[in-house]
Amino acid sequence: MLELNTAEIRFAIKAARQAALLVRDIQAEMVTDSITKGDKSPVTIADFASQALVSHLLQSTFPSDPLVGEEDSAALLAPDNRESLKTITKYVQSRIMNANQQDITEWIDYGKAPVSDRFWTLDPIDGTKGFLRGEQYAVAFALILQGRVEIGVLACPNLTDGNIQQIGGPGSLIVAQRGQGAWAAELTGSMQFTQLHVSGVTDPRQARFLRSFETAHTNVSQLDLIGQSIGVIAEPVRLDSQAKYSILAAGAGDALFRLISAKSPDYKEKIWDQAAGSIICEEAGGQVTDLDGKPLDFTHGRTLLKNRGILATNGHLHEAALQAIRSVGA
Ligand code: AMP
Ligand code: MG
């Protein structure tokens, strides 16, 4: 049984769930066949609405807790975005009746806090490209204490049973609290949590790799070389967002790689892109490091400044994967 024994875990679940249900509505209403390829407005609206809602809930529940969120309102205040702000306000009002435009921008900007000994970090929509394609995305929310992730929640509207990609299904709410395991429940159903465990695959050749859908977020040719050096048979599974961590935690994938893209060699991972997913993987029995085998270091601001890429595995395959990473110079 998942013990909902702290106010923090109860709050984290509630906030991520409410935000995910809001953005799921926005995806259903705005991401239609008629949107043109360059039109990013649905994700803009959903991103800001999600951060405004979570931020408001956080201030109401833990008024002295800071939020490190991905978004800030600067872009929204440009004259071109006035309509977007109206639409965001309308969506947030569907949950918080009296919210006005000023509240929205203030709530969003509450997420500009610096990191500290105790803070929450939010990716209001992780996997924006997946969201726009009508595919995978997640609301990712985590509590970080003294540089260590303590609670992580991923709310994934298009993932069923924490590991099956299903658009329009019940969705998944995946939760981990340090020392208490990783658990999944239906996002839209009753909160019946079942425990997640990583796979028992020990033969590297049997590994099922997980990678970003977007080729620009990883290094596909290096991943192919890693696969060849290990002798992997299966093609990597491609999907957006930290939903990958959930699939790994549920034992339906064995190794997740975030290699360094040749196009952005200096890219640093953002803390909100890894915090919730990494504790979920660890609490399911897996292992998470960077590509050099170093633990993720959440004490250096909004990015994982001291880490290079990410490797998450079921634990059994971690050494073999690190060795393959070294052998191909990734
Ligand atoms: P994914 O859906 O796993 O590809 O991850 C999406 C996240 O990748 C986004 O939230 C971005 O913050 C992040 N991202 C953006 N550019 C890059 C890049 N060049 N390399 C790695 N990750 C990136
Ligand atoms: Mg993200």
pLDDT, tens digit, for every residue of 32-47?
Answer: 777 777 788 888 899 9
Q: For residue 82, how many other CB atoms are within 10 A of its CB? A: 11
For residue 112, give the 3-state DSSP assignment. strand
Q: What local confidence, expressed as pLDDT, does residue 288 receive?
A: 98
Residue 208 has what pLDDT?
A: 98
Check whether 82 has a pLDDT greater than 90: no
- Which ligand 1 atom sits closest to the C-alpha of 270? 12
Supply φ then ψ for residue 226, to 5 degrees: -60, -45
123 contacts 273 by C-beta, under 8 angstroms: yes
Q: Average pLDDT, whole number, for the chain?
A: 96
Q: pLDDT for 42-81, tens place per residue?
A: 888 999 999 999 999 999 999 999 999 999 999 888 888 8
The pLDDT tens digits of the residues spanning 142-183 come to: 999 999 999 999 999 999 999 999 999 999 999 999 999 999
Find tokens 């110079």 and name the residue.
329
Confidence of residue 193 (pLDDT cuts 50, 70, 90): very high
Tens digit of each residue's pLDDT (9 = 90 or more) over 256-268: 999 999 999 999 9
- Edge to edge, the sheet with strand 194-196 lists 67-69, 118-126, 138-145, 148-156, 172-177, 182-186, 194-196
**In this predicted structure, what is the pLDDT of residue 80?**
83
118 in ligand 1 pocket by Cβ < 6 Å?
no
| pLDDT, tens only, 199-228 | 999 999 999 999 999 999 999 999 999 999
159: tokens are 């993932």
> Please, what is the angle between helix 7-30 and helix 41-61, to 10°?
160
State the pLDDT at residue 315: 98
Check: pTM over 0.85? Answer yes or no: yes
Q: Using the predicted structure, report yes or no on whether residue 133 has a pLDDT greater than 80.
A: yes
For residue 293, pLDDT beyond 90: yes
Query: Which pLDDT value is given to residue 3?
Result: 87
DSSP 81-93: GHHHHHHHHHHHH
305 lines ligand 1 (CB under 6 A): no
Pairing of strands 172-177, 182-186: antiparallel
Dist. CA 11 → ligand 1 center (Å): 27
In this structure, the residue with its CA closest to atom 16 of ligand 1 is 217
Q: Which residues pair with 151 in a beta bridge?
A: 143, 177
Catalytic residues: 47, 128
By percentage, how much of the chain surpasses pLDDT 90? 90
- Report residue 94 as tokens: 């569907």
Residue 10: predicted pLDDT? 97
Residues at Cβ < 5 Å from ligand 2 ion? 123, 126, 273
Q: Which of 40-44, 62-66, 276-280, 289-293 has the lowest mean pLDDT?
A: 40-44
In sequence order, the 6+-apart residues with CB closer than 8 A to the CB of 264 are 216
pLDDT of 277 higher than 80? yes
- DSSP 3-state of 60: helix
Q: Which one, of 25, 24, 99, lies nearest residue 60 by Cα?
A: 99
Structure tokens at 125: 């929509």
